Structure 1
Amino acid sequence: MKLIANTEFGGERPLFASHDLHLDNVTIREGESAIKECSNIVATNCRFEGNYPFWHVHGFTIKDCYFDVGGRSALWYSDHLKMSNTVIDAPKMFREMNDIDIENVEMNDADEVFWRCNRINIKNLKLHGGTYPFMFSNDIRVDGLESDSKYVFQYVKNVEIRNAKITTKDAFWEVENVTIYDSELNGEYLGWHSKNLRLVNCHISGEQPLCYAHDLILENCTFDADCDRAFEYSTLNADIRGAITNIKNPTSGRIVADSIGSITIDENIKAPANCEIKTRN
């Protein structure tokens, strides 16, 4: 592997079609597509300021690096990436990619990141700002996530999340086969129109959570007092610890809680309208 160290590149495509290359302490200045159509690339202690540096790259490692705001849309149409100990201030990262491993990464403008990606493994990720992270992505494993980005994990499939703190409305809309363990989920309208969403040991806050959900499962979960009109038109099996403020028109299934503030069943409930709702003795 050829080593290039302690230098900088700018302009358009300075390292186009490079292979078996290690960049150490290299700065990519203003320009476009610095490392395009490359393979077997290692970048350590590098700084990326130009647009679109890693497009159509196959097999690469990014460690201890920084992506400036100018390094937007940096990683598209690529595969087999390992990224660690990296800070990203640029938006629209990770698009149409496969086989991504992320560890100890902070993204400070998480706008439209991880779109249409497959097979993502994440450990300790921080997402700040931006909208719609992870949209349309599949086969995601997360252990350690802190996010205040808006509308996270919409239209995703086959996801497992552990030890997350997520603060946004409209999270997990239209998802399928998603399990979340030991996490804090804050924000209105959580999990609407989901299929096979399972929450285990989670704390939920925000109004109108988990409506229009199909085959929803809650195990040992707790709810904030602001969680009113929960489960409207959902089919579910819910084990709730502590109190829940209000349950409205669940379609079918079973709900058990230590206490229930109120239950709303009105003329708008949908068939089969046979959900069992009870307090724990």
Structure 2
Amino acid sequence: MNVIRDEEFGGERPLFASKGLRLEGVTVHAGESALKCCSDVVAEGCRFEGKYPFWHVDGFEISLCLFTPGARAALWYSRNLVMTDTLVEAPKMFREMENLSLTRVKIPDAQETLWHCRGVKLRDVEVGNADYLFMHSEDIDIDGYLQRGNYSFQYCRNVVIRNARIESKDAFWNTDNVTVYDSELSGEYLGWHSRNLRLVRCRISGTQPLCYCEGLVMEDCEMADDADLAFEDSSLEATVNSCITSVKNPRTGSIRAAGIGETIIDGNVLAPADCRIVTEAGC
């Protein structure tokens, strides 16, 4: 493996199509596509300032690195990435990628990040300003996760999330086969139009959650006082260990809760309109 240590690069494609390359303490200044079309690259303790440094790369490890805001859209059209202990300040990262693993990574400006990716593994990752995160991605495995940003995980498929705190309006819209364990989900209009969304030991807050769902499952969950007007036009099997402020027009299935403040069944309920509602105590 060719080792480059403590050097600086800039301009257009300075390391284009390199293979078997190890970068240590390297700085990539303003420019474009520093490592485009490379393979088998290791970058440790490096600083990336220029645009699009890793495009069309196959097989790379990045650790203890910094991507400054100037390194926007840094990793696209690539596969087989392992990234650890890295700060990503650059926006619009990770597009059209396959098989990527991020561990102890912070992305404070994660807007429009992780689009159209397949085979994503996150461990102890923190993201902020994460509007439209994870659009149209699939096969996602997350454990230990903090997210702030709206409209996340839309149109995603085959997702498992554990031990997360997700603050996101309109999260999980139009998703297929998502399971969330032991997490806090905060934001308005959670999970609308989802299919096979399963929530296990989760706490839900925000108005009008879980409406228009197909095959919703909730196991031993809690709902905050502001989680009102829940379950409209949803098919579900729900066990909620807290009071629910209000339930509106669930379509079918069952709801078992500690109590429900208000149950609204009106002329807008859709067939078969046979949801069974059982409460164990008053709110």
TM-score normalised to structure 2 length: 0.99
**Structure 1 consecutive aligned stretches of length 4 or more whose deviation exceeds 2 Å:** none
> 1:152 Cα shift?
1.1
Count matched residues.
Answer: 281
Which residue pairs with 1:62 in the alignment?
62
Q: What is the aligned partner in structure 2 of residue 112 from structure 1?
A: 112
Give the Cα–Cα distance (whole angstroms) in 2 for the partners of residues 280 and 214 of structure 1: 25
Cα distance in structure 2, aligned partners of 1:171 and 1:83 = 25
Q: What is the 5 A alignment of 1:84-103?
A: 84-103=84-103
CA root-mean-square deviation: 0.6
Distance 1:132 1:235 in 2: 26
Displacement of 1:280: 2.4
Give the equivalent residue in structure 2 for 1:243. Answer: 243
How do residues 108-257 of structure 1 correspond to structure 2 at under 5 angstroms? 108-257=108-257
State, as a whole percentage, how many aligned pairs show the same letter.
Answer: 53
Per-residue CA deviation, residues 173-231 of structure 1 (Å, 9 max, x unaligned), is 00000000000000000000000000000000000000000000000000000111000
1:32 aligns with 2:39: no
Give the whole-Å Cα distance in 2 for the aligned partners of 1:148 and 1:130: 6
Q: Distance in 2 between matches of 1:280 and 1:42?
A: 58
Hey, what does 1:19 align to over in structure 2? 19
Task: Work out whether 1:78 is the aligned partner of 2:94.
Answer: no
Q: Name 1:46's counterpart in structure 2.
A: 46
Query: Distance between the aligned counterparts of 2:138 and 2:13, measured in 1?
Result: 31
Q: Structure 1: which amino acid aligns with 2:235?
A: T
**Residues 149 and 169 in structure 2, CA contact (< 8 A), matched pair in contact too:** no
Give the superposition deviation at 1:27. Answer: 0.4
Consecutive unaligned residues in structure 2, runs of 5 or more: none
> How far apart are 1:150 and its partner, in Å?
1.5
SS of alignment partner, residue 25 of structure 2: strand
Query: Which amino acid in the other structure matches residue 86 of structure 2?
Result: T
1:258 pairs with 2:281: no
TM-score, length-scaled by structure 1: 0.99
Counterpart-to-counterpart distance in 2, 1:158 and 1:133: 16
| Displacement after TM superposition at 1:166 (Å) | 0.5
User: In structure 2, what residue type is equivalent to 1:15?
Assistant: L
CA contact (8 A) 2:130 2:147 kept: no
CA shift at 1:130, angstroms? 3.6
